[in-house]
């Protein structure tokens, strides 16, 4: 499960019991935040998509840390997403949460939150990551902005990924929702997630894998809803796959169905290790 569903880390165990291999709580910020004004989430059923401008609403770090501390039996399968607009806030989130999770996801790319673009400056991002790396005890992942097909910012965003890797991150999450403008959102803009993103996600994973050549882990996120989607992303170089919006449309049985489908595809392909997935998924009913 991707970040954004369990914003205050209230249901990590319940999410995992649905069949997810891991879940990412948050995004958690140091202090409580109300988020952006409503309406801030709009379903687009005809596209199986969602527009949101949530803006990190949450109770703040302290309640989330307490819940994570009480859920230690799940620790090995829980990450927490953290963010802020000031380095000191982010450092504090990492220091106080990392003992209770198996990894930290640094969200510097939410299209729904003002103030994060300062970390899209390579020098600023490098300084932040190098500082976090010096004190981290668990793997650190950075969630990057998307670069849809033929996006004019593709080269700059790939440079951002290279900066993060060079600064010492253990992995990259590709990617946050795609920026979108809409009068249906109170603030007039937000992020698009769901089915329309998958083709872009597949291309972005291939881009990143070609750049990092296995040097860091890659978590794919965007438009995933089927076992075939998972297969294609793993074949493109992803180490793991997240979903969120499809869960809204498909319901709580989705992760188990995807797991069963991937298992069948692997059997049809004659492989027993998920790391051996390559090429197009076999055609099976």
pLDDT in tens, 69-105: 999 999 999 999 999 999 999 999 999 999 999 999 9
28 within 8 A of 81, measured Cβ to Cβ: yes
Residues 175 and 184: their CA atoms lie apart, in Å, by 23
Q: Is residue 30 domain-resident? A: yes
Q: Is residue 221 domain-resident? A: yes
Q: Is residue 74 domain-resident? A: yes
Q: Is residue 127 domain-resident? A: yes
Residues 158 and 284: their CA atoms lie apart, in Å, by 36
Residues 171 and 104: their CA atoms lie apart, in Å, by 10
- Which domain covers residue 100, as residue numbers? 12-276
Cα–Cα distances (Å) from 197 to 61, 137, 149, in that order, read 30, 33, 10
Q: Is residue 254 domain-resident? A: yes
Q: What is the pLDDT of residues 191-220, one digit of tens each?
A: 999 999 999 999 999 999 999 998 999 999
CATH code of the domain covering residue 239: 3.20.20.70
Site of tokens 């109170």: 186
Catalytic annotation present for 182? no
Number of independent structural domains in the chain: 1
Confidence band for 111, pLDDT divided at 50, 70 and 90 = confident
Catalytic residue among 81, 110, 225, 236: 110
What pLDDT shows up at residue 97?
Answer: 98
Q: Is residue 2 domain-resident? A: no
| Surface-to-core class of residue 86, CB atoms within 10 Å of its CB (0-12 exposed, 13-18 middle, 19+ buried) | exposed
């Amino acid at each position: 499960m991707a970040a954004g569903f369990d914003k205050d880390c209230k249901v990590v165990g319940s999410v995992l019991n649905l069949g997810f291999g891991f879940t990412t709580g948050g995004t958690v910020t140091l202090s409580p935040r109300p988020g952006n004004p409503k309406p801030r989430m709009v379903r687009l059923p005809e596209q199986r998509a969602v527009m949101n401008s949530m803006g990190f609403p949450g109770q703040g770090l302290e309640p989330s840390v307490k819940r994570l501390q009480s859920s230690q039996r799940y620790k090995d399968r829980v990450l927490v997403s953290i963010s802020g607009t000031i380095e000191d806030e982010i450092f504090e989130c990492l220091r106080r949460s990392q003992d209770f999770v198996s990894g930290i996801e640094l969200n510097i790319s939410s299209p729904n939150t003002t103030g994060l673009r300062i970390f899209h400056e390579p020098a600023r991002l490098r300084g932040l990551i190098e500082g976090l790396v010096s004190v981290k005890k668990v793997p650190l992942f950075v969630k990057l902005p998307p670069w849809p097909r033929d996006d004019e910012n593709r080269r700059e965003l790939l440079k951002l990924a290279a900066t993060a890797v060079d600064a010492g991150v253990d992995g990259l999450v590709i990617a946050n929702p795609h920026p979108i403008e809409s009068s249906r959102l109170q603030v007039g803009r937000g992020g698009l997630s769901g089915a329309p993103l998958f083709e872009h996600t597949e291309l972005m994973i291939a881009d990143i894998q070609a750049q990092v050549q296995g040097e860091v882990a890659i978590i794919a996120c965007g438009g995933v809803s089927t076992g075939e989607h998972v297969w294609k992303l793993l074949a493109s170089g992803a180490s793991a796959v997240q979903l969120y919006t499809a869960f809204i449309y498909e319901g709580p049985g989705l992760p188990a169905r995807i797991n069963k489908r991937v298992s069948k595809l692997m059997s049809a392909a004659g492989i027993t290790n998920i790391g051996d997935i390559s090429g197009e998924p076999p055609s099976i009913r």
